Structure 1
Amino acid sequence: MCADAPVRPEVILGVSGGIAAYKACELLRLFTESGHAVTVIPTEAALRFVGEPTWAALSGRPVATGVFDDAHDVPHVQLGRKAELVVVAPATADVMARAVSGRADDLLTATLLTARCPVLFAPAMHTEMWEHPATVDNVATLRRRGAIVAEPASGRLTGADTGKGRLPDPAEIFAFARHLLAGASVGENLRGRHILVTAGGTREAIDPVRYLANRSSGKQGFALARAAAARGAKVTIVAANVSLPVPLGAEVITVESAAQLRSATVEAAAGADAVIMAAAPADFRPASYSDAKIKKDAETTTWSLDLETTVDIAAELGRAKRPGQVLVTFAAETHDAVAHAKAKLAAKNADLMVLNDVSGGKAFGRDDNAVTLLWPDGTSREVALSSKDAIAGAVVDAVAAELRPL
């Protein structure tokens, strides 16, 4: 007797009629290859850009196109009831307008009326359409009703036009969607909260072409931002030298040095309910900066560099912490990790410490991680090796538990 097959999360991918419909093919591939069961519902206009055979081949399922197909099953009701997540990508101004007005003149909008799961709209349109008062009002209405409407990306649009309105990166939509599915039992427990996340590693200039840096990629910080946004929070990221797509639902402030990271973080922390210090700021910086490139002397075989310590940003935030504000710090350690992390937790007046054992090249630049969560009362929790998105979910849930009720 065969073992039961694993239950695959049911996802509806709604595709509306914009040129970015071709990018939804990549999003569909990401869902299916990661084990999700996807039903594609394209609008009639979407089928002018990508044909039905393409959606069927990529999803491995018949494509749902009209309310009168298989009418005996009442498809819009059945699809809406069994869906665990609905993603509309691209979401045109027209589809969002029809969703706001409660129209049900095609299978996609009818299904949106029956779905009771999280709904994510990923807009794509020209800048003028995105900024039009009608679209602005429609987006606000969808968000007020509980739908998640991502901010479109900026970049090349159709023709020679550039500006805000580009479909967010499919990989970023997928990563955000997975957080929505993983957090379905948690819900939007951070709605109304402002979460500040720092990410990446700083660079401390030696001369115009050289700098001191570390191996932090920013992946864990960006995953934390996604997890917080998926739970309804307003999210600000202070990113130091991160080359990753901007997480959906987050505002990014870019910095380079530890001094810049400190300035931006202290300013943003003033209005944040929680600060998650996932960045890796340099502990040292050159004591002096050379305006000209330092030349290598053929007769000199050694060269010394004087260093000075940088400001401890986390400790500064700990001293200035408001009543009710939650501070989360990270410790990357190679030896006596727990002892060092506990000492840092106390010294920085933090509410939660996330310990990374980075010995042997672990954590940095990888897609998975294992951490230990430490609290001031001595409580600890091991989070086994898993994706950085899963680690982020565990940390953000711990933050939500620390926050005082609104």
Structure 2
Amino acid sequence: MLASKRILLIIGGGIAAYKSLDLIRRLRERGASVTPVLTRAGEEFVTPLSVSALAGEKVYRDLFDLTDEAEMGHIQLSRSADLVVVAPATADLMGKMVAGLANDLASTLLMATDTPVLIAPAMNVRMWEHPATRRNREQLVADGITFVGPNEGDMACGEHGPGRMAEPLEIVAAIEAALGKGPLTGKRILVTSGPTHEPIDPVRYIANRSSGAQGTAVARALASLGAEVVFITGPAEVPPPDGVRVVRVESAREMSDAVDAALPVDAGVFAAAVADWRVAAASERKLKKSKDGLPVLEFTENPDILKRVSRMGEGRPGLVVGFAAETDNVIEHATAKRARKGCDWIVANDVSPATGIMGGSENAVTLITDAGAEEWPRMGKDAVAERLAQRIAAALTG
């Protein structure tokens, strides 16, 4: 999708600048050309030599460079790209963009361009949450600037919260979406994600350890390929992706109703870790300890969303993908689940505690289809999502 596309990449000053090196590599893998612009502050974190070597292009650094102006003036540089990407976009760069300042090469290019601009913010959590930054973000959105991230997580400074720059593959997906139609344009896809919470009483519930990270990544990857995504999520730890329709639910029954409301779709990806059971009669009051001993909880089965959609007959999605989180005999159990549910594909993984997959940043999956079991190497959840999205696109459009 990025073959022959020209990206002008502005690298701001922040520790996240190291990710820009991987971003350049990912873009070039996909056939894009990258013209890098390195700010003075950016040079404190990555060198012009490393940027140039990866991009295979000259690095532009100075506004008043006679050689650069003779070869390609900054106005031409700003308009010769298909997309301008700022990664990392610091609070300083965002402020300059809002104020219309143009006192260095990066800010001048951003002022002079008539090309769409995508920025990936990266800064300390307090800076991101500062009222000035919030105002600047709102104004940039109003000005037509597209954002990817920031994500929430641990900071280099030791703090935790929103402000981490989006990962390179997330930025690539956002670039693909910004540059036009993808292979899934015109397709409507349903994705479920996260855990469900099944109430015991008003303050207690049954849940599981799903973070929702893999389902969120799948929704983001599908949207980057042009799909209209309906994202139905339980109370997940990770925020939902941008650019999708988000439906928030709590229980399995609420998720089942939301799935029904979202149909018909071209494909359904059921990544949610739906609780198999719920308390038959949840208490309307908080259960108390008593001298009579422990309360007795009676359980009943939750609706089997994957099985119902897989076997619904008329109106069934053209492709139904289920997930199987197992702790032993992964392929055997997942293959049996695929047959039992009636879905087309199962994405199986081993979530036993030793793997660190449940709630972690990586996954190791096996894709089970009519053709058999295809084991994928362990990789980041974004990479798994990107690969799965490409396979879905091939199945729906091939």
Q: Give TM-score, length-normalised by structure 1.
A: 0.68
Does the C-alpha gap of structure 1 residues 319 and 180 become closer, same or farther in structure 2, counting only changes over 3 Å? same
- Contact 1:39–1:59 (Cα < 8 Å) also in 2: no
CA distance 1:84–1:333, shift in 2 (3 Å): farther
SS class of match (1:87): strand
Distance 2:262 2:245 in 1: 11
CA–CA separation in structure 1 for the residues paired with 2:21 and 2:111: 27
Distance in 1 (alpha carbons) for counterparts of 2:186 and 2:328 = 40
- Structure 2 vs 1, CA of residues 386 and 225 (structure 1 numbering), >3 Å: closer, same or farther? same
What is aligned with 1:87? 85
2:358 to 339, 360, 364: 364
For 1:59 and 1:192, how far apart are their aligned partners in 2? 40
Match of 2:318 among 313, 325, 328: 325
Which of 297, 307, 317 aligns to 1:315? It is 307
RMSD across aligned C-alpha pairs, in angstroms?
A: 4.2
Secondary structure of the equivalent of 2:347? strand
How many corresponding residue pairs? 334
Alignment map for 1:91-106 (pairs within 5 Å) = 106=108
Q: How do 1:1-400 and structure 2 match up within 5 A? A: 12-14=8-10, 25=13, 28-29=16-17, 31-32=19-20, 34=22, 36=24, 41=37, 52-61=39-48, 63-65=61-63, 70-74=68-72, 86-88=84-86, 106-108=108-110, 120=118, 125=136, 149-150=146-147, 171-172=165-166, 174-179=168-173, 188-270=182-264, 272-297=265-290, 299=291, 302-320=294-312, 322=315, 325-362=318-355, 363-375=357-369, 377-400=370-393
Specify the SS of the correspondent of 1:341.
helix
- Report the 3-state secondary structure (helix = DSSP H, G, I; strand = E; otherwise coil) of the residue aligned with 2:40: helix
Q: Tell me if structure 1 keeps the 8 A contact 2:78–2:112.
A: no
CA distance in 2, matches of 1:29, 1:189: 31
**Structure 1 CA distance for aligned equivalents of residues 148 and 7 of structure 2:** 21
Distance 1:30 1:306 in 2: 54
| Residues 1:172 and 1:129: Cα distance change in structure 2 (over 3 Å) | closer
Counterpart position of 1:160: none
- How far has the Cα of 1:386 moved from its partner? 0.8
CA contact (8 A) 2:234 2:251 kept: yes
Structure 1: gaps (5+ residues):
1-9, 16-23, 43-51, 99-104, 140-147, 154-167
Residue 349 of structure 2 aligns to a residue whose secondary structure is strand
| Aligned partner of residue 249 in structure 1, secondary structure | coil
Q: Deviations over 1:14-33 (max 9, x none)?
A: 48xxxxxxxx6558436247
Could you give the per-residue CA deviations for residues 177-214 of structure 1, whole angstroms, max 9, x where no partner exists? 14468999xx8222222222111101101011111001
8 Å contact from structure 1 (residues 204, 285) kept in 2? yes
Give distance in 1, aligned partners of 2:183 and 2:296.
52
Offset of residue 246 of structure 1: 3.0
Within 2, Cα distance between the matches of 1:381 and 1:191? 27
Return the alpha-carbon distance in structure 1 between the equivalents of residues 148 and 371 of structure 2. 40
Q: How far apart in 1 are the matches of 2:18 and 2:194?
A: 25
Cα distance change of structure 1 residues 370 and 85 upon mapping to structure 2, 3 Å threshold: farther
**Aligned partners of 2:149 and 2:22: how far apart in 1?**
25
| Residue identity matched to 1:309 | E
Deviation per CA, 1:70-99, whole angstroms, max 9, x where unpaired? 224426677988x8974247698x989x9x
Q: 56-65 or 71-80, which moves further after superposition?
A: 71-80
- Distance of aligned partners of 1:151 and 1:85 in 2 relative to their CA distance in 1, 3 Å threshold: closer
In the superposition, the TM-score normalised over structure 2's length comes to 0.69
Note the C-alpha offset of 1:235.
2.1
What CA deviation, in whole Å up to 9, does each residue of 1:209-243 have, x standing for no partner?
A: 11100110001011111211222222221111113
